Amino acid sequence: MNVLFFLVPIALLLAGLGALAFRWAVNDGQYDDLESPAYRMLIDDESAESKDETSV
């Protein structure tokens, strides 16, 4: 039972820190554009091909 007096405040503190980190990320614009990264990985990177050809 004494352990609860130690663990509950720590759990509440960690939950509060997580909520603050999420709020900071939303206010900083981390979740503004959710679709572009999915399409960006499909675009070919031409500079990588040219580096491979010149190094051989």
pLDDT (tens digit per residue) in 3-19: 999 999 999 999 999 99
Instruction: Name the pTM for this structure.
Output: 0.59
Instruction: Give the per-residue SS3 of 3-30.
Output: HHHHHHHHHHHHHHHHHHHHHHHHHHCC
pLDDT at residue 44, as a whole number:
78
User: Residue 37 is part of which domain span?
Assistant: 2-55
pLDDT (tens digit per residue) in 13-43: 999 999 999 999 999 998 888 888 888 888 8
Distance of alpha carbon 48 from alpha carbon 44, whole angstroms: 9
Distance of alpha carbon 24 from alpha carbon 30, whole angstroms: 9
Q: Is the pLDDT assigned to residue 50 strictly greater than 70? A: no
Are the C-beta atoms of 12 and 18 separated by less than 8 Å? Answer: no
pLDDT at residue 18, as a whole number:
98
**What's the number of domains the chain is made of?**
1
Distance of alpha carbon 33 from alpha carbon 26, whole angstroms: 11
